[in-house]
Chains A and B, each alone.
Chain A
Amino acid sequence: AATAPGKKITARLKRTLPVRGPQAPTLSELMRWYCLNTNTHGCRRIVVSRGRLRRLLWILLTLSAVGLILWQCAELLMNYYSASVSVTVQFQKLPFPAVTICNINPYKYSAMKEYLSELDKETKKALETFYGFSEGKSKVRRSVDEWNSTGGDFFQQIPLLKVEDFSRTATDLHSGQKRKIEGSVFHKDSSIVNSGDSNDIIGFQLCDANNSSECALYTFSSGVNAIQEWYKLHYMNIMAQIPLETKEKLSYSADDLLLTCFFDGLSCDKRHFTRFHHPLHGNCYTFNSGENGTILSTSTGGSEYGLQVVLYIDEADYNPFLVTSTGAKIIVHDQNEYPFIEDIGTEIETAAATSIGMHFTRSRKLSKPYSDCTETGADIPVENLYNKSYSLQICLHSCFQKAMVDSCGCAQYAQPLPAGAEYCNYKKNPNWMYCYYRLHEKFVKEQLGCQQICKDACSFKEWALTTSIAQWPSTVSEDWMLRVLSWDKGQKLNKKLNKTDLANLMVFYKDLNERFISENPANTLVILLSNFGGQLGLWMSCSVVCVIEIVEVFFIDSLSIVMRRQWQKAKKWWHNRKQAGSGKPPQASQVERQCHDNPICIDEDLPTFNTALRLPLPQDSPLPRTPPPNYSTLRLETAFTEQLPDTLELGQH
């Protein structure tokens, strides 16, 4: 420590003169400088702590604080895309939803006679041979003869079979002969509940027309299901060949279906309804479809102010095999939504007043990146075949239809047609049924990928329905009610109405409260930064400034120091080689080496008079000390003297 004061002078110079580049000449000094001067807490403790244990403790504490900060901030970042839910209730005038009403029976049976007579005859025949059922002996006898002569077109296409499961032989319904079943057996409904009694299994076989060895047998535990399914297959074949205009004529007109209509205390009529042809339910009528641009709204809740209709359900004209229940189906939906009556319709009983109270809920989810939903459906690679706004149901149906057209070459009857395709019928596509069943099986097992492609919509409207039923008309009012309604129906209907042909329907808002459930981002950038700041501040009293400091010190400064070291080394090596060459004795004194590190020395900037004056006296010189100035102010400021040990330590270093 008793080296020349020259070293002290340069050390002093280092501090006093404006420094360019790193704050300290060496890495360790830089670290020291950083720790002493940084704004973060902790680092300073490490440096100023005395004792190894204490220092270790502080190092550990500081490191754990850094670790905690990193952990918590990572947590904050990961939870950034979370949503909070808010529920608001608004009391207001509500738009009345579209109400679509269908008769359960799609087409008038009397009008369909010419198309379906063959099929019905064969179905009746099947019922007789299988179950010994017949209605009116003579009629069946005749039909049997006819059938024998015609040969049974439909049975040849898809034979109904009685299956003995264990022997894997089937009795053909038509010929009565037994034959071995080829191909795989699909239990259409026994897969869920195993019936056990395999003797009664009935089903039909679908074969690939191109490759007759590939057959699939569909079995049902109950003949009711089998006959209906079989009938439906043929029915769809027949219907697919009838043009839409004809079908609309075959189905019910608005005058047929709607007897009276009353909305919001005012009378309404068929012009308030829009016809909508549903492939499975025939003509349906949508009230308040918004087609003419106006959407009715309700400003009073309660049953009197909703929609009240009396429907005429002509039970006598029902198709006996296609539908087995009587009544109407209704669905409450948004004007932009496609009514999936067959999927989510509510059934209406005849001879009863069905009162449906609605409660309106609107929901909105946040789309990406919060959740995987779609706003408009535009980002889904499935073409929307329905002329309505996107919904999951639409996507699934469209996806299936597309797969159907791609693999079977024709479209399924229950769903709309894609461009350039036409409905399947076995005149043109003899193979379609087998193809359809195969494809449907795949679809249900999620092998077509439709369920993966289709996403749910981000916003949806829901009308929660409370359905209750009362007897209508009441026994005492039945008489006059039916008389007046018959009169309403008009002169063309000669018979008196029966109460089982009528259904009264009331659809109304229970209250005008609209519940709106929405997701909001739980975090914004501002809050995220606040949380970061909170974490940094809590553990280390750090801020962005500290981060900049760290970047500055640990990356820029350290790098430059290392670089400079390397540069000096290279320079020294070069110098040494030069010296060795010239033979001069090496004079790399300590001072000079120090000088290499110090930018001041490199600048060769000599201290000026002023700066030299400000230099402190050699501290460990034996000179007697000047007594401290006796100013009162100085005495007060004890901190000033206490500051010194650090300075000393720095000097001794």
Chain B
Amino acid sequence: MNLKKYLVRALHRLQKGPGYTYKELLVWYCDNTNTHGPKRIIKEGPKKKLIWFFLTLLFASLVFWQWGILINTYLSYNVTSSLSIGFKTMKFPAVTVCNANPFKYSEVKHLLKELDRLLEAALERILQPTPGNGSENVSPPLNLQLWNQIPLVLIDEHNKDNPIILDIFETNQTAGGNETAANNETIMDKLCALCPQCSQQGSDNCTYRNFTSAAQAVTEWYILQSTSILSKVPLHERIRMGYQAEDMILACLYGAEPCNYKNFTQIYHPDHGNCYIFNWGMDEEALNSSNPGAEFGLKLILDISQQDYIPYLSSAAGARLMLHQQKSFPFLKDQGIYAMAGTETSIGVLVDELERMGYPYSDCTMNGSDVPVKNLYSQYNTSYSIQACLRSCFQNHMAEICGCGHYMFPLPEGVNYCNNEDNPGWAYCYSSLRSSIKQRQICIDSCKETCNDTQYKMTISMADWPSEASEDWIFHILSYERDMSTNVTLDRNGIIKLNIYFQEYNYRTISESAATTIVWLLSSLGGQFGFWMGGSVLCLIEFGEIIIDSLWITIINTISWCKGLKQRRARARYPDAPPTVSELVEAHTNLGFQHEAVGALPRDGALPPEPGTPPPNYDSLRVQPLDILGPDSDAE
């Protein structure tokens, strides 16, 4: 029974809420809420009441509409960018220096001898179409095996429907219209050199790769052949055949401190052979540069020894260099620049950084771990980059489709480099894969850019170096230092001076920050609510309270209705659940209760004489309790 008592007490306590009917509750709420509109509804005359009612409704809906917009804005995760430019002590970029030519010709000559002879003979045939000028009897028989794998042909397209294909080493002319149909779109009026590639020897599945220029055709053909030959050579041998650091880097000065070739990290780059990276930051701390200007930068003197170039492989001569971030792999074909022999090239550097916020603000990757492509360049211990991802993606596809890896890219596990003996159809496979738009799109879609994008903006200027007056002694000293001999082993065609330094403003950083934070959202929500209705979170809580109260009323009503039903059956005297007297008392209490909100008035110590209690006006309350409640209570 104790429990019942307790429950009853609790019920009574709860019933001390603002009212016993919905109307009472609503009026109480309107009068006491802190939002601005509802109070007006009950305080004004009937016409204004209506106006205020609609105004309040309008404002409430405005508030909700604007809240919707604000929340949508927040969820779109916009960013604002801030830009800062200036000079600060920064890590000097890693500088990769390569020779445009991958191997010393003197070292690889024995491997490429056959190929070169073949090409020379072919050039002879091309340039002098009438054979029989006595060149055959001098040279030993050519190794036509290489040739037959990927022959060079000439296509005479004077007759567009039936082009004549001339194999350079054979006299017979094949009229093969159906064969060329594969990708022969070029219709030229003159002879053009083509390089056909067959997927299988002797099979009909051939495509001709057209070139409008013999020079290009010959170069491409030579690259394909030499790639195949050199891929069989083991890596350490290839490194040996390339340019050595002590031969290439003749002088080095960083700031005021001397450096030499030992400060460079060697890396084998498939395109350029041995490359040397200064300040890569792999083993030791990266160097900082705290001063702008050429005096405080890196000064290099290189020798590219142009005489030792492979004649057919690369026609441009110079050093290839690239500035990149520490611990990133240098992709020289993409970002590299040339430095010309016989010149001094000055490169002023501005570090252009873009720092972005990751998901959900933008779709970028912090370290590449969430990219579904296996990064093959991680074997160099380098960080993720979009170029690495694209190349890895290509190599993975190549290994999957052609069964071997391309010579230019690192190998996935358990795959070998392609060569003509083991994979006779690789060139065809590679060409079709390379020109496939679909494959590229797959790679573009699966790779993500990095969030921190750093670019080195270079201001390049050139001057002739060494000057004619200083030429002699400079060559002499440099030759002496390299070879310990008094003979001059250098010349203008091989020597390059490089100055790499920070500009006066060495950084331009664009960093992103969230345009809409949760604080922004809250203050905007508050601003909207405050602007239209003068409301705050407490008002929402008030509203929630009222809803709970109205629920209680519903419950009480239901209970009383049920009780009433029971009692009617039992012919009880009082149909209403709470006793009348108590209800009145409560009502009176509520009248007082209302004043609590209004009663925040300052009070001085001495109260004026207390007025008499009004005469018991319970009757009036009963007659018309609600209409007069507002104004009356306001007065008292």
Residues of A within 8 A of B (CB): 12, 15-16, 18-20, 37, 39, 48-50, 84-93, 259-262, 265-269, 299-304, 310, 352-353, 355, 357, 359, 464, 466-477, 479-481, 483-485, 487-488, 490, 504, 510-513, 515, 520, 524, 526-527, 529-534, 536-537, 541-546, 548-549, 610, 613-614, 616-617, 619, 623, 625-629, 631, 633-634, 636-637, 639-650
Interface residues of B in 28-77 (CB under 8 A from A): 36-37, 39-40, 43, 45-47, 55, 59, 66, 69-70, 73
Are the C-beta atoms of B318 and A471 separated by less than 8 Å? Answer: yes
Interface residues of B in 417-461 (CB under 8 A from A): 434-435, 437, 440-441, 444, 447-449, 453, 455, 457-458, 460
Asked if B130 is at the interface of the complex by the 8 Å CB criterion, the answer is no
Are the C-beta atoms of B307 and A487 separated by less than 8 Å? Answer: no
Are the C-beta atoms of B512 and A642 separated by less than 8 Å? Answer: no
Asked if B529 is at the interface of the complex by the 8 Å CB criterion, the answer is yes
Given contacts A530-B70, A545-B534, contact A93 B441 (CB under 8 A): yes
Are the C-beta atoms of A530 and B66 separated by less than 8 Å? Answer: yes
Asked if B362 is at the interface of the complex by the 8 Å CB criterion, the answer is yes
Are the C-beta atoms of A474 and B306 separated by less than 8 Å? Answer: yes
Asked if B588 is at the interface of the complex by the 8 Å CB criterion, the answer is yes
Q: Which of B43, B218, B608, B620 contacts A484 (CB 8 A)?
A: B218
Interface residues of B in 215-259 (CB under 8 A from A): 215-216, 218
Are the C-beta atoms of B212 and A475 separated by less than 8 Å? Answer: no
Q: Which of A93, A269, A357 counts the most B-chain CB atoms under 10 A from its CB? A: A269
Q: Which of A89, A464, A617, A637 contacts B449 (CB 8 A)?
A: A89
Q: Which of A93, A488, A542, A614 contacts B628 (CB 8 A)?
A: A614
Given contacts A471-B316, A472-B316, contact A299 B444 (CB under 8 A): yes
Q: Which of B334, B338, B444, B598 contacts A470 (CB 8 A)?
A: B338
Q: Which of A12, A50, A359 contacts B604 (CB 8 A)?
A: A50
Are the C-beta atoms of B435 and A355 separated by less than 8 Å? Answer: no
For the residues of B in contact with A, the DSSP-based class is mixed
Given contacts A475-B306, A643-B636, contact A93 B317 (CB under 8 A): no
Are the C-beta atoms of A529 and B66 separated by less than 8 Å? Answer: yes
Q: Which of A86, A266, A464, A479 contacts B81 (CB 8 A)?
A: A86
Asked if B132 is at the interface of the complex by the 8 Å CB criterion, the answer is no
Q: Smallest CB-CB separation from A544: which chain B residue?
A: B532
Q: List 20 A-B pairs, Cβ < 8 Å.
A: A15-B631, A15-B632, A39-B39, A49-B602, A85-B80, A87-B354, A92-B444, A260-B213, A469-B318, A510-B334, A515-B354, A526-B73, A530-B528, A536-B531, A544-B533, A545-B59, A545-B532, A617-B612, A633-B592, A634-B588
- The 4 lowest CB-CB distance pairs between A and B, nearest first, are A533-B531, A530-B527, A474-B317, A537-B530
Interface residues of B in 256-288 (CB under 8 A from A): none
Q: Which of B310, B316, B529, B595 counts the most A-chain CB atoms under 10 A from its CB? A: B316
Given contacts A529-B531, A546-B36, contact A299 B440 (CB under 8 A): yes
Are the C-beta atoms of A532 and B635 separated by less than 8 Å? Answer: no
Are the C-beta atoms of A267 and B316 separated by less than 8 Å? Answer: no
Asked if B315 is at the interface of the complex by the 8 Å CB criterion, the answer is yes
Are the C-beta atoms of A84 and B335 separated by less than 8 Å? Answer: no
For the residues of A in contact with B, the DSSP-based class is mixed
B512 CB contacts on chain A under 8 angstroms: 86-87
Asked if B617 is at the interface of the complex by the 8 Å CB criterion, the answer is yes
Are the C-beta atoms of B636 and A644 separated by less than 8 Å? Answer: yes
B619 CB contacts on chain A under 8 angstroms: 613
Q: How far is the CA of A480 from the CA of B313 in the complex (A)?
A: 12
In whole Å, how far is A531's beta carbon from the nearest beta carbon of chain B? 6
B341 CB contacts on chain A under 8 angstroms: 471
Beyond contacts A468-B460, A625-B612, A640-B591: 11 other A-B pairs, Cβ-Cβ < 8 A, are A85-B80, A299-B441, A469-B338, A529-B528, A537-B527, A537-B530, A543-B534, A548-B55, A614-B632, A647-B611, A647-B636
Q: How far is the CA of A619 from the CA of B612 in the complex (A)?
A: 7
A269 CB contacts on chain B under 8 angstroms: 186, 188, 212
In whole Å, how far is B444's beta carbon from the nearest beta carbon of chain A? 6
Asked if B289 is at the interface of the complex by the 8 Å CB criterion, the answer is no
A50 CB contacts on chain B under 8 angstroms: 602, 604
